[in-house]
Amino acid sequence: MHDDAMDTLAAMLKPSDFYGEAHKILYSALLDRHERGLKCDCLTISHELGDELREFGGIAWLSGLIDGLPRITNLSDWATLVLGHSWRRKLIAMGSALAEKAADSSEEVQELIESASQQLSRISADTGSSVVKLSDILPASVRQIESFVQNRGRVGISTTWDDVDRAMGGGWCGGRMYFLAARSGRGKSSLAMQWAATAAKQGKHVLVFATEMIPEDVGERLLCHQGATDKWAIFRDASEWSRVSLAIGEIQDWPIWIDRRETPTIGQIAATCRQFHLKHGLDMVIIDHVQRLTVDSREGRWLGVGLAVQGLKSLSMRLGIPVLVTSQLSSAEDESKRPHCGMLAQSRQMIEAESDVIGFLHPTSKDWRDELETNLEFFFEKSRHGRCASFELAWNKPTHTMRMIGRTGR
């Protein structure tokens, strides 16, 4: 077979795309010789297959196949026809397996939906070329740069802090995953919920997986944040209720949804996000925090968390939305020490590899636990589309609010 013909086939077909076992084995042998730079003709292939070929009818069977081979001018059309039959068989097999699982009442419905969605995505990905020509995507790339310039460095959902948006590469951008890490009680949940409120004020639809809080507690935090008050202030002065009443009117129409599951699986998260994306339009997902997820621990908790992180990154790319994930830090380190990526609890390598931005929060005062308002250093150790930078925030604990004081470095 001509080298150009094999190049065309190798780019379009896999051995599994053929129905007959003999055809799969033959095509595998052709691919193997082609990848080794060897000629693919009837004699060399018959020698390569040896006894396997005799099981299928020997050299006579192989010679007979040549009569049905397409000419090189219509080879792509022939390969497309083979692919079409392959996709139909996969859809039939998937449908049969899904029907069998759906009849089993012990199977989680959302897990079934997510499994079916993933299989359909894989089949869909196979139906088109994974390679695009540079000239085809250049217009979209130019539009991205134009949007970046016109919006003063912001292409996604704004944090409302211009310098932070620029350091992140344009704010919260679709298809990217962001990690916010801190030791316990250092404000990562407060900042994550503030960013949920910020996005909602911009009309963005936000889905929150607050695994450490019931939805009512999330609502309480958002009310206190928006009303700039807290429960103890209301306890001391009933007139503070007016702030809460005003906040209720302001936030009741915010497009924020809260998932109430305590320890969701990555499959449940992905299925829920897909449903909301179709039903409401989804602009941002927040998972607080990754260590609370239920993962497949057969290979160890660390690998399980790593696979969950990989799944969240794939989710952000597939739906074209930003995903913010909060994370605990290892408790084995000195608490006064400035955190870094090496302190990420569980699956550090996978978190570093998959995340587009990794940020940390660290109190700058030794007495931060006793202070109602304390200063935090907020800094990026990784920013794939922007730059590493450091900022100082003032954290008002009772109202769960953070305000920017200024940039401190880089």
pLDDT in tens, 90-116: 888 888 888 887 887 777 777 777 777
In this model, does residue 298 exceed pLDDT 70? no
User: How far out from the chain centre does Cα 117 lie?
Assistant: 15
Task: Report the percentage of the chain scoring pLDDT > 70.
Answer: 80
Cα–Cα distance, 151 to 140 (Å, whole number): 16
Average pLDDT over residues 108-128: 67
Cα–Cα distance, 337 to 48 (Å, whole number): 63
Cα–Cα distance, 141 to 321 (Å, whole number): 18
The reported pLDDT for the residue numbered 269 is: 87
The reported pLDDT for the residue numbered 199 is: 95
The reported pLDDT for the residue numbered 304 is: 79
pTM of the entire predicted model: 0.70
Using alpha carbons only, how large is the chain's radius of gyration in Å? 28
Which residue did the predictor score with more confidence, 395 or 132? 395
In this model, does residue 393 exceed pLDDT 80? yes
The reported pLDDT for the residue numbered 67 is: 61
The reported pLDDT for the residue numbered 121 is: 65
Omega within 30 of 0 (cis) for the link into 340: no
The reported pLDDT for the residue numbered 349 is: 84
Between 236-240, 257-261, 297-301, the lowest mean confidence (pLDDT) is in 297-301
Query: 117: part of which helix (H) or strand (E)?
Result: helix 109-126
Which residue did the predictor score with more confidence, 325 or 63? 325
The reported pLDDT for the residue numbered 36 is: 65
CATH class of the domain whose range is 156-409: alpha beta
The reported pLDDT for the residue numbered 201 is: 94
**What would the pLDDT profile of 19-62 be if each residue is shown by its tens digit?**
878 778 777 777 777 666 666 666 676 666 766 766 766 666 66
Cβ distance 283 to 325 under 8 Å? Answer: no
* Confidence band of 125 (pLDDT split at 50, 70, 90): low
The reported pLDDT for the residue numbered 138 is: 76
Tokens 């007495």 appear where?
367
In this model, does residue 324 exceed pLDDT 90? yes
* Confidence band of 401 (pLDDT split at 50, 70, 90): very high
Highest mean pLDDT among 70-74, 180-184, 231-235, 346-350: 180-184
Tally the C-alpha atoms within 13 A of residue 12's C-alpha that lie toward its C-beta. Answer: 18
Average pLDDT over residues 310-322: 91
Which residue did the predictor score with more confidence, 64 or 23? 23
In this model, does residue 133 exceed pLDDT 80? no
The reported pLDDT for the residue numbered 146 is: 79
* Nearest-5° Cα angle at 329, 376 to 282: 80
**Reduced to 3 states, what is the DSSP secondary structure of residue 156?**
coil
Match domain 3-93 to its CATH number in 1.10.260.40, 3.30.70.2500, 1.10.3720.10, 1.10.860.10.
1.10.860.10
| Mean pLDDT over the full length of the chain | 82
The reported pLDDT for the residue numbered 35 is: 66
Which residue did the predictor score with more confidence, 178 or 72? 178
User: E strands along 190-255, which residues?
Assistant: 206-210
What ranges do the domains of the chain cover? 3-93, 156-409
**What would the pLDDT profile of 172-231 be if each residue is shown by its tens digit?**
999 999 999 999 889 999 999 999 999 999 999 999 999 888 888 999 889 889 988 887
Query: 50: part of which helix (H) or strand (E)?
Result: none
The reported pLDDT for the residue numbered 165 is: 92
Task: Report the percentage of the chain scoring pLDDT > 90.
Answer: 28
Cβ distance 39 to 32 under 8 Å? Answer: no
Cβ distance 10 to 129 under 8 Å? Answer: no
The reported pLDDT for the residue numbered 4 is: 65
